[in-house]
Amino acid sequence: MLKDNHKKNRMYLAGPLFSLAERTFNHNLKQLLNPFFEVYLPQEDGGLLVYMIKAGMPAELAKEKVFDVDVRAMNECDLVLIILDGRTVDEGAAFELGFAYAKGKQCYGLKTGPRQLLAIGNNPMIDIPLERIFVSIEELIDWAKSYSGQDTCKDDNEEKKSGVIRTETV
């Protein structure tokens, strides 16, 4: 919940960021969450390793920079949202989840698809730290409204009465 009436909670958005599709999904999700949280997205707020190296930064220095900036952001965040879509969880995001959990941060997941490696679900080292796993963006946004104190029941009821259902696609 909000620490005070004026400041948004800080969310670290962890997920895969190596393909254009992944980065686009992450960016769109950040835009949907921005009204409710101050969202840190590593690909935009921390920098991408591949672009740093392309710009001439030595690989080892680029790795250190990415690590240091993202660890600082995780230390400063209030909660972490990890994207769980795909056959396996992104290894960087898995590290970020474990780091945040060890620091006592609130941890949540988003899994919009059925693919997974294990028949019983995610690895327990992923599932157990999570307070909740959202199965749709709509469910996540409804929770974000409530969590941030910006629940708009009146607006939702007006939309239902008018027959309009708001869905945002990322």
The model's pTM is: 0.83
Q: Count how many domains the chain has.
A: 1
> What pLDDT digit, counting tens, does each position of 64-115 carry?
999 999 999 999 999 999 999 988 899 999 999 999 999 999 999 999 988 7
The answer to the question of residue 167 being in a domain is: no
The answer to the question of residue 168 being in a domain is: no
Q: What is the CATH number of the domain that holds 31?
A: 3.40.50.450
Looking at residue 164, what is its pLDDT? 37
Q: Which helix (H) or strand (E) holds 26?
A: helix 20-33
Question: How much is the average pLDDT of 114-125?
Answer: 79
Q: Per the structure block, which two tokens stand in for 117?
A: 């490696």
The answer to the question of residue 47 being in a domain is: yes
Residue 17 burial by CB count (10 A; 0-12/13-18/19+): exposed, middle or buried?
A: buried
**Residue 140's domain spans which residues?**
9-162
Q: Could you tell me the CA-to-CA distances from 148 to 8, 16, 133, 153 in Å, in that order?
A: 7, 25, 18, 14
The answer to the question of residue 169 being in a domain is: no
The tally of CA atoms less than 13 A away on the side-chain side of residue 103 is 19
Q: Residue 122: pLDDT above 60? A: yes
Looking at residue 120, what is its pLDDT? 76
Is residue 78 classed as helix, strand or coil in its secondary structure? coil
